[in-house]
């Protein structure tokens, strides 16, 4: 999966932590968190996949703690 981090904007962490149990929302939260990691990491090129995977782990872990059912998770 490719991530175009330049076409996104930074979203506060509080916005990322909210989810409405829809696949698109989960994927959007992952995208926003990946961009946030990119910015926090000094906008280093060549690490989009690492940032995406880290964001995915964080968002899915948070979703699982909130009890969001697996059917709603985007893989």
The domain locations on the chain are 5-72
Q: What percentage of the chain carries pLDDT values higher than 70?
A: 59
pLDDT, position 43: 96
> Residue 30, exposed/middle/buried by CB under 10 A (0-12, 13-18, 19+)?
buried
Tens-place pLDDT, residues 12-44 = 444 444 444 556 789 999 999 999 999 999 999
Q: What percentage of the chain carries pLDDT values higher than 90?
A: 47
pLDDT, position 17: 47
pLDDT, position 67: 76
C-beta separation of 67 from 20 below 8 A: no
C-beta separation of 27 from 74 below 8 A: yes
């Amino acid at each position: 999966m490719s991530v175009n981090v330049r076409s996104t904007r930074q979203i506060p962490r509080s916005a990322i932590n909210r989810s409405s149990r829809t696949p698109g929302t989960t994927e959007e939260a992952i995208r926003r968190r990946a961009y946030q990691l990119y910015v926090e990491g000094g906008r280093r090129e060549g690490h989009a996949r690492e940032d995406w995977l880290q964001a995915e782990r964080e968002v899915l872990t948070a979703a699982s703690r909130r009890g969001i059912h697996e059917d709603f998770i985007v893989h």
